[in-house]
Amino acid sequence: MNPSDPSAAGKSSARGELRRVLALMLPLYLANLMNIGMGVIDTIVAGQAGTADLAAVALGCSVTAPVMVSIGAILNILSPMLARLLGARMKSRAGLLLHNGLALSPFLMVAEVVLLWAGSLVFPLVTTDERLAAAAQLYVYFVMAAVPASLVMRVVQGCWEGHGQTRPAMVVCLIGLALNIPLNYACVLGWWGFPAMGGPGCGLATAIVHWLMAVVLLGMLFFSSHRHEVRHMFALRLPNLGLMHRVLRLGSPLGVASFCEMSYFCVISLVIAPLGELMVSAQQIAINVSGVFFMFPLSLGVAVSIRAAYHVGAHDPSSFRAMLRGVLLFMYAAVLLLVCLSIPIRFSIVALYTSDPIVSATAAHLIILCALYQFSDSTQALMAGLLRGCHDTAVISWANIVSYWLLGLPLSLIWIHTDWFCPRMGPAGAWWSFIVSLTVVAIILLIRFRHTSRRIFGST
């Protein structure tokens, strides 16, 4: 029996449920780390091409990353929706769900391409270097070619994850990471007779890798026990507008929440910019470390959303609560261990990025604050995953809007640049605003989850 299968039988013990959640989470965690690795490779190879090429990739990513993640997040709702159908013993409707998820993709593709194109128009406005702006725009145009593949991949991944199998995504990300290295050197630096494109070549490599990953993931599905889903997914029939609307209604808040969070962190970097390049460098190091830390609760939240959706579909409150007990105990123990390990070795972590003493000291201090908010960050990620599993997603979007933009951004401006409530903190003010924002998000989502779980299962 596959322990990660949502339909896996067994006693409703916290240990058994935790084992199934971890079987789902660990491949997702490795896949997310490999996705980060692809970005690191882009940065390294672009840097070898020259400072201007590295700047073009950084500028291009400031548009492509939030847009692609946010639009793609809409389709992330497919895996808990499919798991819920399986829990309710309605497997016959799985193909219809995936077909309509795929039918929604062209509309999302148009929206994504338009947003990427509009974002690229900003480059000439934010830099006086025409060559830099042109290179960043070309990078975005190349990435546009990856949009159809990335959306199809989201749908296929939703099929795999909804069936409780997350290893295929890990395998495909490993293949993508392996291919990304030679493709970057070929497209950026012109190895093996390819034309050297500089920074924009990273965009072309990204597009090629996305298409190859989509083909491999779809091929794996075709030759698996779920091959019948491929036939239903690509069936020539009219879409069900009601089901498409339901996917969009449940998935859109996830896209909004992703955009709010990513854009908030980007804006904070701009707020810190007047403090000088040393402070910006320290901020970037801490943000990078924080991103690696966040892969743990992010992966756990996705895994929990699948198991929660299955138990909701099966209307099995005892297994749902057993899962919750096991996951909470594991998550907070893991976060405590992470905090206890990261704070003592923070200077060693920073040394991997820089040898500048001022940047090192500042970044090391920020990592302490980064470690402290892992409790709130993990809680909000877990609660968001549980709410996705319960198909209650609207609150996730407005909680992010309120906490990040209406509360966090004003606090960061005050604490970074003014003495209104306390002596100005510099970059640390941003991280205290992160702590406040994430804590508020966690509290809102926790309260909403308690309400939603009682509505679904009652007070038993």
The secondary structure element, H or E, covering residue 248 is helix 241-272
Per-residue model confidence (pLDDT) at position 330:
94
Q: Which long-range contacts (CB under 8 A, 24 or more apart) does 256-260 make?
A: 256/70, 256/397, 256/400, 256/401, 257/73, 257/384, 257/396, 257/397, 257/399, 257/400, 258/66, 258/69, 258/70, 258/73, 259/66, 259/69, 259/70, 260/397, 260/400, 260/401, 260/404, 260/405
Per-residue pLDDT tens over the stretch 9-47: 445 688 889 999 999 999 999 999 998 888 888 878 887
Give the pLDDT confidence of 99-125 residue by residue, as tens digits.
999 999 999 999 999 999 998 888 888
Q: Of 57, 265, 303, 31, give the one whose Cα is nearest residue 171.
A: 31
**In 10 A of CB 9, how many CB atoms?**
7
Query: What pLDDT is attached to residue 213?
Result: 95
Model pTM greater than 0.75? yes
pLDDT at 6: 54
Looking at the predicted structure, is the pLDDT value of residue 374 above 60? yes
Please write the tens of the pLDDT for every residue from 319-347.
999 999 999 999 999 999 999 999 999 99
Whether 74 and 100 have beta carbons less than 8 Å apart is answered as no
